[in-house]
């Protein structure tokens, strides 16, 4: 005769029925409390009622056997603690809505959005390496929100379940009635996971997507400007050589023959002011976002006759400038 496999709902009904049967039996001291395992010398060891074992299972619903040992550990500690939960790592908002944790679901939805905004703010300071940009974007919008969900999931669910048990016990006069009350509540909601999870995904894609796209576009422009500035390094070298040899700036006619004139592929014009040694870079069509604007690279001679260069953008928003050419920095 084959054994019948019990579905989760059948298990919950059986546990409730077991409570009802115990209502007519006298309670012994061993059935009143269970002492959690621990060192013998631990005098403040917590004691847990057997009813709580079953109430946890009923209130948890699916995967109760997975959560129950953790929850008993939380009971012993007197509070929920951080632990690792793999399902919440990959889709924390969907998991939270499935477990009917509405506030946590909203919070987990907002975390990637906050990460995208943070990425847009810090991106100008990340340098010109594209792989660094992508690594930081993944960290802020995917990895950190996922880790937050994985580490907080069990504690958040414990708080909700424990609150439900307290409310059920306060509103009833027996464990069986408390179990029946908990069984009448849906511990999970696949519909909420699907509907709210889809909405959360749409919000993340619809809001974080454009923010990251704009941030990456600005990063790409900064990389172009950095390459353009690197292309005129030979001009700066010859200006420094001219000053060191003759204490004068080179004439514009000489600047036209400088090797870095090839950098004009990125600029409409590269010119040198004979009176100040200042290099003017007029941005061309190769950087359409900055077309018609200019960058001035101005030399300054210190007391030791050494030249320091300063970058002065003309009409170029700071978000398009590389770090070496922002707020008067030395390129």
Task: Give me the CATH number covering residue 305.
Answer: 3.30.700.10
Regarding whether 203 and 265 lie in a shared domain, the answer is no
153 plus 216 within the same structural domain: yes
76 and 188 share one domain: yes
Looking at residue 231, its pLDDT comes to 80
Q: Do both 168 and 36 map to the same domain?
A: yes
Domain boundary among 162, 195, 223: 223
Q: What is the pLDDT of residue 1?
A: 45
Domain annotation covers residue 24 = yes
Q: Which residues contact 178 (CB under 8 A, 6 or more apart)?
A: 51, 55, 165, 168, 169, 171, 172
Q: Are residues 155 and 192 in the same domain?
A: yes
**Domain, as residue range, for 182:** 8-223
pLDDT value at residue 189: 94
Dihedral of CA atoms 28, 30, 31, 35 in degrees, nearest 10, equals 150
State whether 32 and 129 are in the same domain: yes
Choose one of 183, 200, 223: the last residue of a domain.
223
The parts of the chain modelled with pLDDT lower than 70 are 1-48, 251-266, 327-331
Q: Does residue 252 lie within any of the structural domains? A: yes
Q: Are residues 189 and 292 both part of a single domain?
A: no
Q: Which residues pair with 34 in a beta bridge?
A: 48
**Same domain, yes or no, for 249 and 293?**
yes
Q: What is the pTM of this model?
A: 0.76
Residue 2 lies in a domain: no
- Please check whether residue 330 lies inside any domain of the structure: no
pLDDT in the model for residue 327: 57
Q: Are residues 239 and 216 in the same domain?
A: no
Last residue of a domain, one of 172, 192, 223: 223
| Number of domain units in the chain | 2
Same domain? 19 vs 145: yes
Summary mean pLDDT of the chain: 81
Residue 3 lies in a domain: no
């Amino acid at each position: 005769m084959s054994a019948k496999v019990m579905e989760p709902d059948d298990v919950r009904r059986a546990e409730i029925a077991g409570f009802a049967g115990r209502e007519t039996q006298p309670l012994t001291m061993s059935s009143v409390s269970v002492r959690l395992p621990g060192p013998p010398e631990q005098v403040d060891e917590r004691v847990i009622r057997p009813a709580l074992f079953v109430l946890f299972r009923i209130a948890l619903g699916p995967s109760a056997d997975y959560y129950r040992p953790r929850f008993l550990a939380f009971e012993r500690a007197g509070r929920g603690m951080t632990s690792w939960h793999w399902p919440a790592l990959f889709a924390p908002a969907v998991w939270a809505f499935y477990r009917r944790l509405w506030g946590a679901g909203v919070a987990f939805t907002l975390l990637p959005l906050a990460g995208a905004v943070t990425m847009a703010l810090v991106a100008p300071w990340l340098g010109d390496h594209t792989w660094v940009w992508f690594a930081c974007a993944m960290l802020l919008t995917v990895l950190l929100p996922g880790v937050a969900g994985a580490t907080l999931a069990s504690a958040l669910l414990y708080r909700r379940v424990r609150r439900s048990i307290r409310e059920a016990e306060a509103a009833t006069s027996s464990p069986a009635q408390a179990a029946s009350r908990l069984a009448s509540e849906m511990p999970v909601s696949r519909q909420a996971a699907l509907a709210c999870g889809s909405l959360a995904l749409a919000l993340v894609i619809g809001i974080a997507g454009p923010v990251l796209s704009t941030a990456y576009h600005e990063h790409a422009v900064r990389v172009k400007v950095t390459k353009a500035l690197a292309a005129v390094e030979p001009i700066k070298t010859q200006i420094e050589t001219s000053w060191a040899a003759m204490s004068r700036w080179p004439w514009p006619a000489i600047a036209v023959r400088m090797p870095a004139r090839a950098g004009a592929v990125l600029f409409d014009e590269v010119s040198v002011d004979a009176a100040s040694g200042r290099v003017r870079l007029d941005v061309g069509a190769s950087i359409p976002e900055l077309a018609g604007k200019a960058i001035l690279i101005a030399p300054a001679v210190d007391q030791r006759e050494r030249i320091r260069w300063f970058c002065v953008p003309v009409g170029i928003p700071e978000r398009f400038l590389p770090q070496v050419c922002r707020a008067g920095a030395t390129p």
